[in-house]
Amino acid sequence: MAPALDEAINELDEADRTAILLRFFEQNDFRSVGVALGSNEDAARMRVNRALEKLESYLKQHGITTTAASLGLVLSANAVQAAPVGLALTIATAAALTGTTLATTATVTATKAIAMTALQKTIVTATIAVLAGVGIYEARHASQLRDEIQTVKRLTMPLETQLQQLTTERDQATNQLSDLLAENTRLKSDARTRELLKLRGEIGVLRQRVVDLSLQSQTASMATTQNALTNSTAPILREAWGFAGYQTPAAAVQTLIWAKSTGDFQTFLNSIVPEEKDAVINGYRASQSLEQASSKLQAETKQVQGLQVLREIPIDDATVIVQTLFQVHSTSGEPLQETLQMVFKKENEECKYYNEYVPKH
C-alpha cells in the first residue's frame, strides 16, 4: 500500500499535501497546521479530512479499499518510518510561507525519510549529530504513538468485522425480499391465468349448450321434414352460381361455394371471418403455390351440381347456422344429397363463414 499511498499524496494539490504532511508526518496539531496554512484550527481540520477523502478515492480507483479514518490511523502509525518523495521540499516551502515557525520541525522531519539521495543522507547525518537529543525524544514519542494506534486498531477491528457481517446480512435479506416479491408476483399471475382459462372453458361450454338447445328447439317445432322445407329457398344449379355478396347468409353460402368451384382463392379468403383466415391459408396452401391451392379448392366442389339453403338457425345476434343441401353426383353416376350445417358470423353488416357446426353429445 505504501507506494500507492505515496503516489496518492503526490497527486494532491499543494495546500492539501502540506496539510497531510504537517498533520501526520510532522505530528502537528490542527492549530499549528492552521497557522502554517494561514487559517484557523477548524479550517485546518476540514482540509485534512477532505485530503484524506481524496486519498481514499484515489486508492479505491487503484484497487485498494479503505476509509478516510483508516488512512488517518495508517499515516499516524507509519509516518515516522517513511515519508513520500518531496516531503522535505514541501515542508520547507510551507515554512517559508509562515516565517520561521516550522523551520526546526521541517529539519527534524527530514531525518525520517528513507528514500533519499546520497547527498541528502550526508546532510541528514550532520543534522542528526546536532539534534541527537531531539531525535531520540521524537523516536520515543513516535514509538509510544505507534503502540497506542495498534491498541486502537485491535479494539476497532472487531467493530469493522461486525459491520461487514451486518452489511452482508443486510444484502442477503434484501435479495431474499426481492426474490419473495418476484415469486409473489408470479404466483398471482399464474392464479389469474388459471382463472381466466377456467372461465373461457366455461363460456365455451355454455355457448355450445346454447347452440345445442337452439337446434333442439328448432327440431321440436317442426312437425315434419316438409314443414322444414317450406321456408327453404329454391335449389341453385351449378350453372347459375356466381358472386352473390355477403348481405345474407344464403348469399354468403353461394359466394363461398362459387369461389371454391372457380378456384378463386382470394374471394374464398374474403368469404371467411378474419380469425380463421390463417388456419385456412395454412390448411390449403402450406408449402403449395397459389395455383395448387386453387386446384385443391376446385377439386372439393367438382362433384357438386347444386345447392339449396334449407333453413337458418340464429344462435345470437351475430351468429347463425345455415343448413345447406348439396346435390352431388357420385362416381357411379347416381345423384346423392348431403346436408351441411355451416356457421356464419355477421361482421360490419356482412355474413362471413366461420366453421362447420358439429353438435356435441
Which pLDDT tens digit goes with each residue over 225-264?
334 434 456 789 999 999 999 999 999 999 999 999 999 9
Q: Examine the pLDDT at 347 and tell me if it is beyond 50.
A: yes
CA atoms within 13 A on the CB side of 333: 0
- Looking at residue 258, its pLDDT comes to 95
CA 354 to chain centre: 41
Q: Give dist(CA 245, CA 292) in Å, integer.
A: 25
Pairwise pLDDT comparison (191 vs 360), residue with the higher score? 191
Mean pLDDT of the chain: 78
Which pLDDT does position 189 carry in this prediction?
A: 83
> Which of 123-127, 133-137, 232-236 has the highest mean predicted lDDT (pLDDT)?
232-236
Return d(Cα 192, Cα 201) in angstroms, integer.
14
C-alpha 210: how far from chain center: 46
What is the pLDDT averaged over residues 293-308? 89
Average pLDDT over residues 85-91: 52
Q: Which three cell numbers stand for residue 327?
A: 346435390
pTM of the model: 0.37
Cβ-contact 252, 246 below 8 angstroms:
yes
- Is 243 exposed, middle or buried, given 0-12, 13-18 or 19+ CB atoms closer than 10 A? middle
Domains of the chain from N-terminus onward: 2-130 (no CATH), 225-356 (3.10.450.50)
The per-residue pLDDT for 124 is 44
161-188 per-position pLDDT tens digit: 878 888 898 999 999 898 999 988 888 8
